[in-house]
Amino acid sequence: MSYLDSLRPDLQLIADWIPAGSRVLDLGCGEGELLAWLQQHKQANCYGVDFDVNNVVGCVKAGVNAIQGDLEAGLAEFEDQRFDHVVLSQTIQAMRHTEEILLEMLRVGREAIVTFPNFGYWQNRWQIMLGRMPVSDDMPYQWYNTPNIHWCMLGDFDALCAKNHIRVLERVVMTGGRQVNFLPNLRGSLAFYRVTRG
């Protein structure tokens, strides 16, 4: 399958953070594109969780173990420290139980990888200045139909980690598939965090 070789840039960055042979849990795994790649290229031992049965079917087609489930209900299916890495990609901003899922991720896994659209990105700030809620490729919804209910920017996520004694191991910020090092909270549209218990 060709898509196995060309991961989306944001998923590739996550994949690069995961060493070969890791035990990986991907929350909101979609059709398992990240996990299929990790199985193929890094011999990872993978499970995905997704709310949508059609995505579970997609995972099965891709040869990825997938558990249909609602992340809001926690990760009761998984025992403590079952995984090396637990991934939550562009989903945390849409969750009701934001803090809980972060803690659950670090209960079942040694490290958590969390990515989210950075609300502090200058284009978002600009749209707000013009008097409208931001809409962009990373945030493609109108205010009235967005599933995203918990917006944050880099400083906010740092603060949430600090409050819960979670240590940030690595942080990368990207815009349009390219890494941003200068003024990341202003110039970066997607944030990637690799964190562990402090």
Partner 1 sequence: MRTGQSRKDQHPRPPPTCKEKRMPNNASSVGIVSAQRALFETPLDLACGVTLPQYELVFETYGQLNAERSNAILICHALSGHHHVAGRYSEDDKTTGWWDNMIGPGKPIDTDRFFVVGVNNLGGCHGSTGPSSIDPASGQPWGSRFPVMTVPDWVTSQARLADRLGISRWAAVIGGSLGGMQALQWSIAYPERIAHALVIASAPKLSAQNIAFNDVARQAILTDPDFCGGDYYAAGTVPRRGLRLARMLGHITYLSDDGMGEKFGRMLRSGEYKFGYDVEFEIESYLRYQGDKFSDYFDANTYLLMTKALDYFDPAKDSDGDLVAALKKASASFLVASFTSDWRFSPERSRETVKALIAAGKRVSYGEIESVHGHDAFLMTDGPYVDLMRAYLNRVAEEVNA
Amino acid identity for residue 94 in this structure: A
CB of 129 to partner 1, least distance (A): 25
Instruction: Please answer whether residues 26 and 87 qualify as being in contact, where contact means their C-beta atoms are separated by less than 8 angstroms.
Output: yes
Rounded distance, CA 73 to CA 177, Å? Answer: 32
Q: How many residues bind partner 1 (CB under 8 A)?
A: 41
> Segment near partner 1 (CB under 8 A), from 92-100, 153-161, 164-172, 186-194?
92-100
Query: H-helix or E-strand containing 139?
Result: none
* Cα 68 off chain centre by: 18
CB of 179 to partner 1, least distance (A): 20
Structure-block tokens of residue 145: 């139909």
Rounded distance, CA 97 to CA 68, Å? Answer: 18
112 binds partner 1 (CB under 8 A): no
- Out of 12, 41, 42, 68, the residue judged to bind partner 1 by CB under 8 A: 68
CB of 81 to partner 1, least distance (A): 12
167 binds partner 1 (CB under 8 A): no
195 binds partner 1 (CB under 8 A): no
CB of 96 to partner 1, least distance (A): 6
Residue with token string 């109108």: 142
72 binds partner 1 (CB under 8 A): yes
CB of 167 to partner 1, least distance (A): 25
89 binds partner 1 (CB under 8 A): yes
* Cα 33 off chain centre by: 13
* Phi (first) and psi of residue 68, to 5 degrees: -75, 125
51 binds partner 1 (CB under 8 A): yes
| Terminal CA-CA length for the chain | 40
Structure-block tokens of residue 20: 């070969």
Q: Which spans of this chain sit near partner 1 (rule: CB under 8 A)?
A: 27-31, 47, 49-61, 63, 65-72, 76-79, 82, 89-91, 94-96, 140, 147
